[in-house]
Amino acid sequence: MLCVIYKSPKKAQTYLFIKQRDKFADVPEALMAMFGTPTLVTIINLDNKDKLAMSDINKVRENLDSKGFYLQLPPPQEDLLKEHKAQMKKNSQEL
């Protein structure tokens, strides 16, 4: 199964996977509006892959078959200040 991957110019680390190059008919218009004008990243053969860097390959395949596209969102940002405060509170309770 060939897969074409585009990145969003509007949303950092956001990628759209579709079955055919420049064929966005299956992607909802609202999603395309938020995504922006797609920039081609690569074309890959999912049959030759066991895994992908940031997404579950089986979920990608399933979404491509059922919806015609897969949207990869960036991982949630860490709130280091919140984590630090929680650790400080934990440390003060242990004393």
Task: Quick: pLDDT tens for 17-71.
Answer: 999 999 999 999 999 999 999 999 999 999 988 899 889 999 999 999 999 999 9
pLDDT of amino acid 62: 95
Domain count, the chain: 1
Q: Which of the two residues, 87 and 6, has the higher pLDDT score?
A: 6
Q: What is the CATH number of the domain that holds 33?
A: 3.10.510.20
pLDDT exceeds cutoff 80 at 2 = yes
pLDDT of amino acid 95: 67
| DSSP collapsed to 3 states, the chain | CEEEEEECCCCCCCEEEECCCCCCCCCCHHHHHHHCCCEEEEEEEHHHCCCCCCCCHHHHHHHHHHCCEEEECCCCCCCHHHHHHHHHHHHHHHC
Q: Domain containing 71: what range? A: 2-94
Per-residue pLDDT tens digits for 64-90? 999 999 999 988 777 778 888 888 888
